[in-house]
């Protein structure tokens, strides 16, 4: 998995062998933690 912010590309390694599905659901959560 890789995020290239300059080119705005998100690369995800798939555990599924080819052929890959045409639609992929990507679910993520981000939590902000203040260090102060």
pLDDT at position 5 is 85
pLDDT at position 6 is 92
Summarize pLDDT for 1-36 with one digit per residue, the tens: 788 889 988 887 777 777 877 777 777 777 888 887
pLDDT at position 33 is 83
CA distances from 32 to 5, 13, 19, 26, 36 (A): 19, 25, 37, 20, 12
Query: Two tokens at 35?
Result: 């260090």
Beta bridge partners of 3: 10
Biggest CA–CA distance in the chain, Å, is 48
């Amino acid at each position: 998995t890789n995020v290239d912010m300059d080119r705005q590309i998100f690369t995800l390694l798939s555990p599924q062998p080819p052929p890959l599905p045409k639609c992929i659901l990507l679910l993520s959560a981000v939590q902000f933690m203040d260090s102060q």
